[in-house]
Amino acid sequence: MIQVDGLSKKYGRHVAVDHISFSVEKGDIVGFLGPNGAGKTTTMRILTCFLPPSGGRATVAGFDVFEQPFEVKKRTGYLPESPPLYPEMSVEDYLTFVARLKSVPSREVKQRVEQVMERCSVGDVKGKLISKLSKGYRQRVGLAQAIIHNPDVLILDEPTSGLDPKQINETRELIRDLSGAHTIILSTHILSEVEAVCKTVIIINRGRLVATDSVEHLKQRGAGNAIQVQIDTDGTGDLSAVRQRLEQVAGVSKVIEKPRNGTPFVFEVQSLPGRNVRADIARAVVHAGWNLLELKALTSTLEEIYLSLTGAVAEQPPVSEQPEPTVETVGGTK
Amino acid sequence: MRNIWTICRRELYSYFVSPIAWVLLAIFAFLSGAFTYIISASFVRASFESQMSGQSFPMNLNEQVIGPLFSNIAVISLFLIPLISMRLFAEEKRQGTIELLVTSPVHDLEIILGKWLASVLMYGALLVVLAADYSFLFLYGNPDWPPVATGFLGIFLQGACLLAFGAFISTLTRNQIVAGAIGFAAALILWILNWTTSFGNSVTVQVLNYLSVVSHLDSFTRGVIDSKDLIYYLTMIFLGLFLTARSLESLRWRA
């Protein structure tokens, strides 16, 4: 549905977007992730034909954004970072105007306006002036405006910024609802949003593409090399002995003590890349006559992956726990 | 065509739901009414005096009231027009709604024509007030109507051309006040260009005089539609809208 190929945008000497390539399939919800100033808005503006690219190509619904902007505009709905609203208009009048502007046939305008007001639950304020609306309602009117002509592609620039938690949930709900019929790109710098809403993530930083993958894959990518072990020695070994034993297992690169809730025998074991040491550890522990209480792989949260990919320094330890079925883990068959 | 009308309608909506339209109408109604009263009152007194003195001067409503009134109105509108045009694009840029317009399936030209048309209609509403003033002259006097009609046409064209330039100036900034101030300065300069005629009659002076918006109004108020003046106004409208289009286009490359 969306094809981006070596896309660049320069403002004078400043490179805002640097040879980005990605593609989005029909019906996908893609999270466009990056710190502020990474080039998210610029990329979206190019996709909506607001800005011409400096280099590369982008096609939306099969039409080139530079060659055939008119066709692209007909098929995209766009919610800029601040919703493009006329404060002096009432919600209904505003949506009617946008419907006409987006070439909705005259006969269907009224019906479409009713539909999107219902869909975005702004029907109860349809007679109100937009200037009197709360931030949450404005955002929803903004969304209503973007979907009024039933576009193939929806481009949403930080749709939940500035909303309170309840409104954020409602907006995400709405976006998830819309995903069936539309292909959606939404930008955000909130990670939980991507995890909550998107199937695929595109991470950019300083104008460059850092990663593009499904949320699941990306999570696994940062994991796999660290496992957490809890051991009960029945008093037959002290901390350093256990530690030593663990370090001797082939493929282990590092053992970190991570005492938890008063039990000192908890370790984070990091292995060399590509080595699966879980089975060996289990064997070694049992062999030493100790009880293996816990053995699980650690998955990075998207947050940590994001921070490491975008080069920011994480304040938390690099990995955290993410429970996994224990049976599967002990068997080491993953 | 439909898109132009859609945009024009929304623009008029904004003029009339906000105080702008009503404030402008009130100011214009007051000023034009006052001028009509003052000029016709002095005309009435002059005609009384001419009758009293026995030796009747030739009194002409068209030349002594309607002509001067149009000139005064032309000057008032120079002050009011920047107030109409300043918000056209500056406000869209400030609100971010320009992104909506530009990413919608409409051509730049349709946006510009729609907005300009709305501003011209807004200006037309002011002229309706003026027509009400003039109706009293027809009610109590017996002026020739053709010079009045051409006078309206002239003053309308002058407004349309200043509004085209105002639209251009409005694309240059996101601040309405700045757009208004620059627009006012531009209108003032286009007006006083014809003052140069008092410095002789060199080629430069003739060119400057030709460029002045006000010097082309005279023939209209005398009931003459001179193709020279008509072409001047139409060219200026075209130039103003052309500059607006270029500026709007460059906005994307600069933004």
pLDDT in tens, A89-144: 999 999 999 999 999 999 999 999 999 999 888 889 999 999 999 888 898 899 99
The answer to whether residues A30 and A119 belong to one domain is yes
Say whether A50 and B255 touch across the interface (CB within 8 A). Answer: yes
Q: Could you tell me if A183 and A290 lie in one domain?
A: no
Give me the mean pLDDT over the B3-16 stretch: 94
Q: In chain A, which residues have their Cβ closer than 8 Å to the Cβ of B21?
A: none
What's the token pair of residue B89? 């694009």
Cα(A257)–Cα(A229) distance, integer angstroms:
10
- Cβ–Cβ below 8 Å for B95 and A87: yes
- Show me where the domains of chain B are located: 2-254
pLDDT in tens, B27-85: 999 999 999 999 989 888 888 888 887 776 677 787 888 888 888 898 888 889 999 99
pLDDT at A327: 41
Note the pLDDT of residue A333.
38
Q: Are B62 and B147 in contact (CB under 8 A)?
A: yes
Distance CA B155, CA B219 (A): 11
Number of structural domains (chain A) is 2
Burial call A50-66: b when 16+ CB within 10 Å, e when fewer = bbebeebebbbbebebe
- Residue B252 near chain A (CB below 8 Å): yes
Does A190 lie in the same domain as A251?
no
Does residue A249 share a domain with residue A189? no
**Digit-coded pLDDT (tens) for A171-187:** 888 888 888 788 999 99
Report the CATH number at residue A315: 3.30.70.100
Domain boundary among A218, A243, A271: A218
**Chain A interface includes B203 (CB < 8 A):** no
A128 and A203, same structural domain?
yes
**What is the reported pLDDT for A319?**
43
Contact call for B95 and A103, based on CB within 8 A: no
Residue of B nearest to A12 (CA): B254
Instruction: From A218, A253, A280, give the residue that closes a domain.
Output: A218
Whose structure tokens read 């909550």? A196
Q: CB B81: neighbour CB atoms within 10 A?
A: 28
Task: Answer whether residue B187 shows pLDDT above 80.
Answer: yes
- Same domain? For A209 and A266 the reply is no
How are strands ordered across the β-sheet holding A200-205?
A76-79, A153-157, A183-188, A29-33, A200-205, A208-214
CA of B251 to nearest chain A CA: how many angstroms apart?
Answer: 9
Q: Which of A78, A86, A102 to mutate to test binding with chain B, by most B CBs within 10 Å of its CB?
A: A86
Closest Cβ–Cβ partner in A48, A70, A93 for B13? A93
Residues A60 and A204 in one domain: yes
Phi, psi dihedrals of residue B60, rounded to the nearest 5°: -135, 115
A26 and A58 in a common domain? yes
Do A294 and A266 lie in one domain? The reply is: yes
Task: State the residue range of the domain holding A10.
Answer: 2-218
pTM of structure = 0.81
Residue A93 in contact with partner chain B when CB distance is under 8 A: yes
Last residue of a domain, one of A164, A190, A218: A218
Give A-chain residues touching B100 at CB under 8 angstroms: 78, 80, 84, 98, 101, 145
Do A142 and A228 sit in the same domain of this protein? no
pLDDT band at residue B211, thresholds of 50, 70 and 90?
confident
Q: What is residue B84's predicted lDDT score, i.e. its pLDDT? A: 94
ipTM computed for the complex = 0.88
Amino acid at B172: L
Same domain, A42 and A133: yes
pLDDT at B131: 92
CB nearest A103 (choices: B102, B105, B253) = B105
Shared domain check, A125 and A99: yes
Does residue A253 carry a pLDDT above 60? yes
Q: B197 touching A, CB under 8 A?
A: no
Question: Is A82 or A180 the better-scoring residue by pLDDT?
Answer: A82
CA distances from B44 to A118, A242, B61, B139, B167 (A): 65, 116, 10, 14, 41
